[in-house]
Amino acid sequence: MLDSTKKAAVLSLMLATLVACGDAQEPDAPLPTRPVKTFVVEGGDADAIRTFPGRVDASQRAELSFRVPGRLQEILVKEGDRVEEGQVLARLDPTDYRLVYEDRKATFDNSQSNYERGKDLVADGNISRMDFDRMEASFRSASAALSQAEKDLEYTVLKSPFRGRVAQRQVENFEEVLAKQTIFSLQNTSLLDIIIDVPESVIRMVRALDEEQRSISADERVSVTGAYAVFEGQTNEQFVLTPKEIATKADAQTQTFRATFTMQSPSSFTVLPGMTTTVVLDLSELIDDHSVVKRVPVRAVQADAALKPRVWVLDPETMTVSAQEVSIGRMSGGMVEVKDGLAGGEEIVAVGAPYLAEGMQVSRMAVTEQAVPRADDPL
């Protein structure tokens, strides 16, 4: 009897435990998110900031050469030397040019004497006017020849046309050099040129000038552009660039337009011609929103209940989507033009749009993934 009572008590306790376990509520499962692939629409503030690789060159540079041929007699500077304007850099052997000068000086003196005597003789009628004209022509010819010989003698000395630094020496001393053969490359690196190649797509983004602004030059238009240079290893320091010139004809090979800016040479580190930099341009003041053709993937455009085209815009903070009605234009390949409804810079759903609803939470899929329908998706 006692055993039966114990068995009943144990059975009751087991039943109570099972009921208590059955009454425990399971934790709510997290709401599923739809994986989608996104696409950022062209235009907006993001497209107004552009970066370009730039190359450094000296703002003032020259290839120096003698204007006459000869043998190098003396080279007075080395590569890397700083030179002042008018400083002598090299000399040719002047012996031959000095002999020519002396010869022409003698000819000139004789012609001058004959010319001075001829003036008195022709005035007295002792010689004809024709003879005097020959004397005058001979005198003028001798004077020109003497001036040329004097200049050639001066040209045996090579001087610096401006203050700068000798970047490169092309010859050795005692060599025979030709006229206009490069002897030195001279650069003034106190002011640097920063050169970039601007693609055609960016040029098209710049709005056209109205009739009242036709007189504004391309340089003045670029002057409203915020531009600065960043050098490798100096990312915390930005150097403001001043526009210098911009080409209005595209390069035949690259189909890009060359833009040149200037900047002061940094004092905290060395920047030399031939080095590279990154140029950041702020084109927000020049870009016309209506001139930017916005194209989105065809799969991103869906029809609503009224068969009007729309796209799903992603809110990156909440990771939810909302429908945005758009006006579409021509289709090219897998892209379609959006004429209205998007300002540019929006992140829209490019793959997975047919399975979305207003306010649905989504997640960005990996680049290698593809959006596929779920088993419970409506057909």
Q: Select from 227, 217, 284, 275 the least CA-distant residue to 247.
A: 217
pLDDT of residue 379: 44
Q: Classify residue 304 by its DSSP letter.
A: -
Indicate if 94-155 has the same CATH topology as 48-59+185-289. no
SS3 343: coil
pLDDT of residue 224: 47
Q: Classify residue 113 by its DSSP letter.
A: H
Q: How confident is the prediction along the chain (379 residues), in pLDDT tens digits per residue?
A: 445 555 555 556 565 555 555 554 555 555 568 899 999 887 655 567 788 999 999 999 999 999 999 999 999 999 999 999 999 999 999 999 999 999 999 999 999 999 998 988 888 888 888 998 999 999 999 999 999 999 999 999 999 999 999 999 999 999 999 999 999 999 998 899 999 998 887 776 654 444 344 444 544 544 445 788 999 888 788 899 988 888 889 898 888 999 999 999 998 888 989 999 999 988 776 655 555 567 889 999 998 888 899 999 999 899 999 999 999 988 888 888 888 888 777 899 998 889 898 999 999 887 554 445 555 555 4
**94-155: in CATH 3.40.50.720:** no
Q: What is the pTM of this model?
A: 0.58
Q: Which structure tokens are listed for 341? A: 């409804």
* Distance between CA atoms of residues 59 and 353, nearest Å: 54
Q: Select from 257, 177, 206 the least CA-distant residue to 48.
A: 206
Helix axes 129-154, 95-124, angle to 10 degrees: 160
**293-364: in CATH 3.40.50.1820:** no
pLDDT of residue 15: 55
- DSSP string over 222-250: HHTSEEEEE-TT-TT--EE-EEEEE-SS-
SS3 268: coil
**Contacting residues for 271 by C-beta, under 8 A, at least 6 apart:** 56, 189, 192, 231, 265, 277
Buried b (16+ CB within 10 A) or exposed e, 275-291: eebbbbbbbeebbeeee
pLDDT of residue 208: 45
CB atoms near residue 106 (< 10 Å): 12
- Residue type for position 232: E
pLDDT of residue 157: 97
SS3 100: helix
CB 79 within 8 A of CB 166: yes
Q: In the chain, where are the structural domains located?
A: 48-59+185-289, 94-155, 293-364
Inter-CA distances, 94 with 73, 89, 179, Å: 9, 15, 14
Q: Which structure tokens are listed for 121? A: 């003789």
β-bridge pairing 256-264 and 226-230: unpaired
> Among the CATH numbers 1.20.120.420, 2.40.30.170, 3.40.50.720, 3.40.50.10860, which is that of 48-59+185-289?
2.40.30.170
> Angle at Cα 213 formed by Cα 207 and Cα 218, nearest 5°?
65
